[in-house]
Structure 1
Amino acid sequence: MRKGFTLVEIMVVVVIIGVLAALAIPTYKLAVVRARQREALVNLKYLWELEQAFFAEHGHFGPGIHVDINEAHLPPGVGGRIKSYIDNDPPLEFSLP
């Protein structure tokens, strides 16, 4: 009797692995997105705490941040593409709970 696997057995295993991957990959991507959202929220809360500490020490909030896309050191052509998104997007508003 020969030892080894038949082509059908190998194909069945490959199909099973494919089905499991098809189920697992979207779940993994969703978990990554949620982790990034939680990380962003933690960073925002930390920035809020820093602003509160600055206010307690100086009596006013820190200066706003302004980034001039024209003065940034970006590869040629990239600044224009980013600027088109910035010009067309409305400002984002958010609040902390």
Structure 2
Amino acid sequence: MIARLTGAIAIAAEEEFDPDTVTPGVWGFVVTFALMVVVVLLILDMVRRIRRTNYRAEVRERLEVERLEAEVLGDQGVAPDVPSPSPNADDDESGPGAASAR
């Protein structure tokens, strides 16, 4: 077995190597181009998925902040969406009790 292997190596060493005849050819170009297209598409998909993940994380953070603000305002006895009464609320005559006060 070793003798055959050394014989094949000796025959290969005797042959002259011509770099002009060794080319990948058209199929080598097609395969390389297809591989490049697949890699570019994978990179675009990865960037899209990373961007989507980052946006989801930002939205989660905003929702968490809003929830915490609502809890803090709720603990203080103030409703988060109800505006505080103005200081001149007693002078306003257009309120619901204005008609009965006259």
Give TM-score scaled by structure 1 length. 0.47
Give TM-score scaled by structure 2 length. 0.45
Bigger radius of gyration, 1 or 2? 2
**Relative CO higher for 1 or 2, CA cutoff 8 Å, sep ≥ 6?**
1
